Amino acid sequence: MITQSATIRLRTRGFSDVHDLTPAVQHEVTASGAAGGVVTVFVPGSTAGITTIEFEDGAIEDLRHAIERIAPSDIHYRHDARWSDGNGFSHVRAALLGPSIAVPFSNGELDCGTWQQIILIDFDNRPRSRDVIIRVLGD
């Protein structure tokens, strides 16, 4: 069993800022030397999430609009009333998306679809420095 962990740091702008993590994740899979297994990608914190999408401007904009319709940024959130930080919407969005994803890999390559990339979305209402933990388990 091969286990490899890495943490990458990203500077984000908040407000549904999207970053393609696929090259960094593939790099860690390759560096592990494992032929097959699973890689987990996790973002600590409660205002960002991890998912997959076609990393293309139209699809990214469609996702941002959908997220705004599901958890609007301009409505009352009890979190804001309690903490006065204005990011209640970002906590709800991150909870709906989730903080991690597990992706299988074979022959040292991610088993993603042709147009499928692994992304981080920062929902917070300000720029952040984000750590993303990548853990490879394979053989």
Domain holding 89, by residue range, is 2-138
Q: Where are the beta strands (DSSP E) in the chain?
A: 2-12, 17-20, 37-42, 48-53, 100-106, 109-110, 117-122, 128-138
In the prediction, which pLDDT does 91 show? 98
Q: How high is the mean pLDDT in each 10-residue block of the chain (139 residues)?
A: 94 98 98 98 98 98 98 96 95 98 98 98 98 98
Pick the closest to residue 44 from 85, 83, 98, 88 (CA basis): 98
In the prediction, which pLDDT does 2 show? 85
In the prediction, which pLDDT does 83 show? 94
In terms of Cβ atoms closer than 10 Å to its own Cβ (0-12, 13-18, 19+), residue 86 is middle
pTM value?
A: 0.96
In the prediction, which pLDDT does 87 show? 97
Domain count, the chain: 1
Cβ atoms 123, 72 nearer than 8 A: no
CATH number, domain with residue 60: 2.60.120.460
